[in-house]
Structure 1
Amino acid sequence: MGSSIGANIRRERDRRGWSQARLAREVCRAAEVQGEPVGRQEVSRWETGKRTPREWLPFIAAALGVSVDVLREPQKPIERPLPTLADFLPNENPLAPPRVREGRRVGMGQVEDLQQRVHGLRLADDVLAGGDLIRPAFRELRSAVRLYRESSYSGEVGRELLRQVGELAQIAGWIASDAGLHAEAERIYRLGISAAAQAEDRTLAGNLAGSLAYQLSNIGREVEGLQLARAALDRAGLDVPPKARALYLDRVAWAHTKTGEAQPAMRALGEASDVLTQDSTGAESPAYLYWVDAGELQVMESRVYTELRRPLRAVPLLRDVLSRYDVTHTRELALYLSWLAVALADANEPEEAAATANRVLALSADVASERTAERGRVVLARLEGFRDVPEVRAVLDGAA
């Protein structure tokens, strides 16, 4: 607290262009004391946090023309602005083949090392939010692109490098989107689609296109999102691994939901469930789809029902999912609870909705995710219609 007060005193003094000696004189004048019981050295001690000006604080505030609360205000940590993709990649086409490959020779060993780092970043995203991971994600993407551009390798190794660039772009794009950097996320996804296309990996290209479609559907570009989600599904074809096709169908379902088309959304959900339960025809799922399972499809189904205002179907599904969910995945837990809060409000259960909203806000408080922050705003807006309920009013007033 003392250091915050000191920093605030210095800030207000600097705004007035006063020296420490001038502030000492003005404080004595405000306190109406004779002589100079406060001098420059005392002001210096206050500003450096070596001494807290307890009894002098009202007179310092009066001298500076601010309230005591302004001087007591906690200091917010100075955060560097989030980077952009341009900070990490060359200006020209980052995946253009280098004119002359004279760099160090790389083989499958280096590709496997990169693959492990990409997977590690994906696992980190399970428990950390976009704001926490954006810098390491961009650094890894830069490193992967440089490895592809500046090294020499065989054709097979080159394709694997491109595939890893694509996988890294998918998780980096997701992280950027979670941090609220939607334009950057779109650029990263498109970079990844280019890499996957050059590597002739239709499954990866479909995953990247579907990820971008999901973002577009969520930021007010619903028609574009639906078009891209359908294109990703159609281009992938029927011979992609079942998990991949189920995921593409899930994104198509969400895109239809965001455009208000209930029946196509329900059909896509049904197809996704059918595909996932089918035996694989020899097409092994990529490691990056480890998280796609029946539980995740259930999450999407419950979200679709919530968005379509069908709470009697949404609430039991969400409660079932949440009863089994890993509490270390704070961001996802907050997100799924936000859907439950909305569904409970739609079911005319404002007290339960308020209790769930409290959990959402508590979990979101220390999560550097724009996605959870936005969902918190959606929940509060939905609760406004029940402001006369004491439990709801307490939540709304507390958030305000």
Structure 2
Amino acid sequence: MSNTNERRREFGAYLARLRRHSGRSQAQLAAALCAASGTHSITRNEVSRWERGARVPDTWLPFLAVVFDVSLRELEQAAAYARGDTLATLPGAAATLADLLPDGDVLAPLAAPCGRRIGATTVEGLAARVHGLRLADDVLSGGDLIAPAFRELRAAVRLYRESEHSDDTDRGLLAQIGELGQIAGWIASDAGCGAEAERAYRLGISAARQAGDGVLVAQLASSLGYHLSNNGREREGLELTQAALAEAGPDAPAVTRALFLDRLAWAHTQAGEAQPALRALGEAHAAMDTADGPPAPSWAYWVSREELEIMDARVFTELRRPLRAVPLLQDVLGRYDATHAREVALYRSWLAVALADANEPEQAAEEARQVIDTSGDLSSERTAARARAVLHRLKEYEDVAEAREVLSDYGRLLLA
């Protein structure tokens, strides 16, 4: 995909977030634009083209600004970004990371610091903000968090470049920039801003490598590999995930090895390699069972046996093994924290597909409805994509009343 096409798709995701935040469907937005402009020339299909990135609105920007209650300048800046203006940035991400990345090689060292002197207290404060952002991501979606995430990342890089500090503080700052790069990349990916996600991950890799934190480098590289695997670059994603596991090494904390092996299993699955995927799942559980070794880093707080079971079920679903996937997903969802709405919606989406594969279309339709209803309240491209995947799967059961009803109610999303 060309850079311009990527920008158009990101702009489309940005418009879709504005629409969802306004509480409108695509048809309702089209109607509101017609009312604001006094014409009847905008249809739901045209709104869908904008959100897919097939077209960039021009004369409609002033009316979009009125309907969304945002500044016209912001929308014009976003449209310029979509059209390929290299000086434009996408609102919501605050800015692209081009000004943060070193010239040339993205893994080149960051600029030497100068200015006021800082110490461990500053690093501790930054670490607390990074962890707060992670906790927020547990309950909020990418579209809600992308602006503060990138604002924190830019501020951290600026702090590093504009201050004086000891070698220990230097490493601490670089490690926190690495962690910020990871969470910002994850958030950008969830918001549908793929190019921004990749830049954030690569900046984080640069910082973590300079900090000498091989496990954090592996966390960032495997996160980027996961992102690539989910966005049509399966071979690149697999190679990067394999490299991340090697970077971590056999002496990495057990929890992190389990996480990296889980991501490797998913990368093999996306690449169509069933047996290596299943082996990696088994190795992930074996790693989790290891009692000795160094303690897990704070950023791995969420990795648990429950999360490993979720990945097991996702892999089984993708490999069309519903008899193994369905009971796992039902068990985990029965005890999963309901405040984590995005994850619940995602996991229900795999359950819906697995139930369809198990020839249980009525139950699949019931799960699909819950997935789609929840997804409509989230500014997450991940959940939106999974909702579309579930609907595509239900189309095979259009002769079943429950599936037909869901498709009738929500089939328009397949055109979005």
Match of residue 322 from structure 2: 311
Match of residue 36 from structure 1: none
Q: Does residue 313 of structure 2 align to residue 287 of structure 1?
A: no
Q: Is the 8 A contact 1:88 1:138 kept in 2?
A: no
Residues 312-351 of structure 1 aligned to structure 2 (within 5 Å):
312-351=323-362
Distance 1:7 1:380, change over 3 A: closer
Match of residue 38 from structure 2: 12
Match of residue 209 from structure 2: 197
Distance in 1 of aligned mates of 2:110 and 2:241: 29
Q: Does residue 109 of structure 2 align to residue 83 of structure 1?
A: no
Measured against aligned partners, the alpha-carbon deviations of 1:158-187 in whole angstroms (never above 9, x if no partner) come to 000000000000000000000011111111
Distance 1:92 1:259, change over 3 A: closer
Residues 179-328 of structure 1 aligned to structure 2 (within 5 Å):
179-281=191-293, 283-328=294-339
Distance 1:323 1:199, change over 3 A: same
Q: Is the 8 A contact 1:338 1:360 kept in 2?
A: yes
Q: Percent identity among equivalent residues? A: 57
Match of residue 164 from structure 1: 176
Distance in 2 of aligned mates of 1:203 and 1:274: 19
Q: Is the 8 A contact 1:102 1:150 kept in 2?
A: yes
Structure 1 or 2, whichever has the larger Rg, is 1
Distance in 2 of aligned mates of 1:88 and 1:326: 37
Structure 1 residue 102 displacement after superposition = 3.6
Distance in 1 of aligned mates of 2:335 and 2:69: 36
Distance in 2 of aligned mates of 1:126 and 1:307: 24
Q: Is the 8 A contact 1:340 1:353 kept in 2?
A: yes
Q: Is the 8 A contact 1:341 1:356 kept in 2?
A: yes
Match of residue 362 from structure 1: 373
Query: Equivalent of 1:113, from 125, 131, 138?
Result: 125
Structure 1 residue 351 displacement after superposition = 0.3
Q: TM-score, normalised by structure 1?
A: 0.80
Structure 1 residue 7 displacement after superposition = 8.3
Distance in 1 of aligned mates of 2:340 and 2:238: 28
Structure 1 residue 259 displacement after superposition = 1.2
Distance in 1 of aligned mates of 2:299 and 2:361: 39
Query: Equivalent of 2:400, from 375, 384, 389?
Result: 389
- 2:212 aligns to what SS in structure 1? coil
Distance in 2 of aligned mates of 1:397 and 1:139: 41
Distance in 2 of aligned mates of 1:198 and 1:121: 23
Match of residue 389 from structure 2: 378
Q: Is the 8 A contact 1:162 1:198 kept in 2?
A: yes
Distance in 1 of aligned mates of 2:370 and 2:136: 23
List runs of 5+ in structure 1 lacking aligned partners. Answer: 16-73
Distance 1:145 1:355, change over 3 A: same
Distance 1:154 1:327, change over 3 A: same
Distance 1:227 1:84, change over 3 A: farther
Q: TM-score, normalised by structure 2?
A: 0.77
Q: Is the 8 A contact 1:98 1:150 kept in 2?
A: no
Given residue 118 of structure 2, which amino acid in structure 1 is its aligned partner? Answer: V
Distance in 2 of aligned mates of 1:383 and 1:6: 31
Residues 8-87 of structure 1 aligned to structure 2 (within 5 Å):
11-12=37-38, 75-78=67-70, 80=74, 81-83=91-93, 85-86=95-96
Distance 1:91 1:191, change over 3 A: closer
Alignment RMSD: 2.3
- 2:117 aligns to what SS in structure 1? coil
Distance in 2 of aligned mates of 1:5 and 1:269: 49
Given residue 329 of structure 1, which amino acid in structure 2 is its aligned partner? Answer: H
Q: Is the 8 A contact 2:102 2:110 kept in 1?
A: no
Measured against aligned partners, the alpha-carbon deviations of 1:44-82 in whole angstroms (never above 9, x if no partner) come to xxxxxxxxxxxxxxxxxxxxxxxxxxxxxx944548543
Given residue 360 of structure 1, which amino acid in structure 2 is its aligned partner? Answer: V
Distance in 2 of aligned mates of 1:9 and 1:184: 35
